[in-house]
């Protein structure tokens, strides 16, 4: 084909960005070998090369690759690249599949291309797996842990498992009457509410993770069947929204800031007077 390795690479990346698989495969040898070094994955032949490209698009339908630097040599080129897109499809990991998070991705990497007679013969991909982990896997893992806490501890009442989800030096910055600001206070808070509202339910509507901070938007609902903070049971139900901000250390929370619509709850239960109409 009379094309140098650096130019060949750019043509294939352009075809990838255009999702023109046939054009990309024109530049590949029939027995091409593809290896993703960080994940220990490999493929051979044009079908394998096409699958390699399509797997990235399945994870991010708008993924685009930009070549930032090239280092050519005889019949080879090292491409420094960055891929950008949106995580809107499944991402397969050794521990299972992570569904779309909607997060923006910027994934640096290096690919080593070996060329034979103007066609790609061997491709070794060194994607920055740590960066990919931080952008997809770590936030998704944090979100899963938070949802697990609300489901298995807060909703099911398994308070003995609180140490699995909160560090020993946990600090609560939300002041709630009669509740300790340390880890013991988590159980105190949940026990108080479940005693007064046996059918209490915590519904997680959204979890947003940024670095070591997670913001959780929840709804709390229940029926007032026993005394609550000195107020006798009214038999009325409530549903309020809350915002919780957690500082995570690994897979456990170390600090908590919260905003709870306590007044709205008391008004719905008839314990506090409703707000006057404007």
Contact between 212 and 204 (Cβ < 8 Å): no
Distances (CA, A) of 140 to 97, 153, 192, 230: 11, 19, 31, 41
Alpha-carbon separation of residue 149 from 112, 130, 163, 240 (angstroms): 44, 26, 11, 19
Residue 143 has pLDDT above 60, yes or no: yes
Please give the mean pLDDT across all residues of the chain.
93
Q: What is the pLDDT of residues 172-190, one digit of tens each?
A: 999 888 899 999 999 999 9
Q: In CATH terms, are 5-127 and 137-269 the same topology?
A: yes
Assigned CATH for 5-127: 3.10.450.50
C-alpha to C-alpha distance for 236 and 218, rounded to whole angstroms: 20
Please name the helix (run of DSSP H) or strand (run of DSSP E) that holds residue 208, with its range, or none.
strand 201-210
Give the tens place of pLDDT for each residue, 146-157: 999 999 999 999
Which sign, positive or negative, has the C-alpha torsion 47, 61, 11, 84?
negative
How large a percentage of the chain has pLDDT more than 70?
Answer: 96
pLDDT score of 278: 62
pLDDT in tens, 60-76: 999 999 999 999 998 99
Contact 82, 107 (CB under 8 A): yes
Greatest mean pLDDT among 12-21, 172-181, 206-215: 12-21
CATH number corresponding to 137-269:
3.10.450.50
Q: C-alpha angle with apex 141: 143 to 145, nearest 5 degrees?
A: 55
What is the structure's pLDDT at 94? 62
Sequence spans of domains, the chain: 5-127, 137-269
Tokens in use for 181? Answer: 């600001």
């Amino acid at each position: 084909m009379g094309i140098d390795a650096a130019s060949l690479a750019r043509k294939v990346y352009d075809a990838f960005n255009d999702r023109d698989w046939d054009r990309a495969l024109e530049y590949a040898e029939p027995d091409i070998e593809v290896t993703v070094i960080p994940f220990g994955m490999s493929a051979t032949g044009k079908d394998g090369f096409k699958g390699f490209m399509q797997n990235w698009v399945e994870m991010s339908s708008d993924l685009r690759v930009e070549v930032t630097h090239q280092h050519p040599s005889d019949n080879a080129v090292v491409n420094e690249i960055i891929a950008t897109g949106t995580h809107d499809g499944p991402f397969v990991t050794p521990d299972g599949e992570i569904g779309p998070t909607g997060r923006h991705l910027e994934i640096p990497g290096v690919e080593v291309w070996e060329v034979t007679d103007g066609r790609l013969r061997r491709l070794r991909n060194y994607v920055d797996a740590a960066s990919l982990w931080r952008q997809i896997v770590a936030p998704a893992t944090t979100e899963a842990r938070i949802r697990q806490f609300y489901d298995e501890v807060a909703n099911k009442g398994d308070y003995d498992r609180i140490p699995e989800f909160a560090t020993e030096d946990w600090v609560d910055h939300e002041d709630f009457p009669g509740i300790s600001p340390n880890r013991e206070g988590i159980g105190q808070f949940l026990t108080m509410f479940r005693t007064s509202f046996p059918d209490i339910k915590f519904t997680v509507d959204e979890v947003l993770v940024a670095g070591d901070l997670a913001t959780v938007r929840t709804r709390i609902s229940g029926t007032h069947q026993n005394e609550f903070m000195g107020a006798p049971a009214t038999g009325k139900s409530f549903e309020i929204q809350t915002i919780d901000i957690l500082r995570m250390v690994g897979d456990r929370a170390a600090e908590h800031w919260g905003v709870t619509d306590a007044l709205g709850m008391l008004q719905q239960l008839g314990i506090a007077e409703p707000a006057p109409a404007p």
